[in-house]
Structure 1
Amino acid sequence: MTFPFWMLIAVLAVAAFSIRVLGLLAGESIKSSRHSWMLDDLPGLIVVSLVASSLAGQPVGTWLAAGVAFFIAYVTNHVIWTMCAGVAAYAGLVWFGF
């Protein structure tokens, strides 16, 4: 490899390391602030935003399967049962032409 490739690798490595260090520093400063209570709900909010953006523009069958998965998650609070029910509902709806 030539020198420009090694420089690119070095710059990307420093950038990746810097992003991680800055994230740790920012996280520590947020944890010690008065806004730390917001971090408790952050993982759930991230999951909801990912699911909502994935469902945007999907057909009705996908929304129905997501509804079934949501219901199972609400009733059982069990991740494996929720995934199995969602996949089974989606497969059934695809099988029947939704």
Structure 2
Amino acid sequence: MNKVKKIVTGVIFMTMLLGSVCFASSPTLVTGTQKLLSDVEGWLIGLEVAITVVLAIWRGIIWQKAEEEEKPRARKALTGTIVAGIVVISLTALVPFIFSYYQ
């Protein structure tokens, strides 16, 4: 599970970094490179959505299979996964929105 957290965290930071580089209004940034970085950011956002959905389904199955005393903990983990996914996707969508005002 720690490897999954590290991978998800890495994807989040890569998406935010690419978003800031992609929408920076630098005269030396080539238009083709800007489009390439924008496309990569779109793929990473899609990957984040896929990871969130898979983790939510997996945690939902664990919650449904859990014993009565383990259900609150499993439900809290499922809720945390969904909230974290929504926050991450919202933040990565927010970066291009903010940088669009600087162009």
Give the TM-score, by structure 1 length.
Answer: 0.34
Give the TM-score, by structure 2 length.
Answer: 0.32
Q: Which has the higher contact order (CA 8 A, sep 6+)?
A: 2
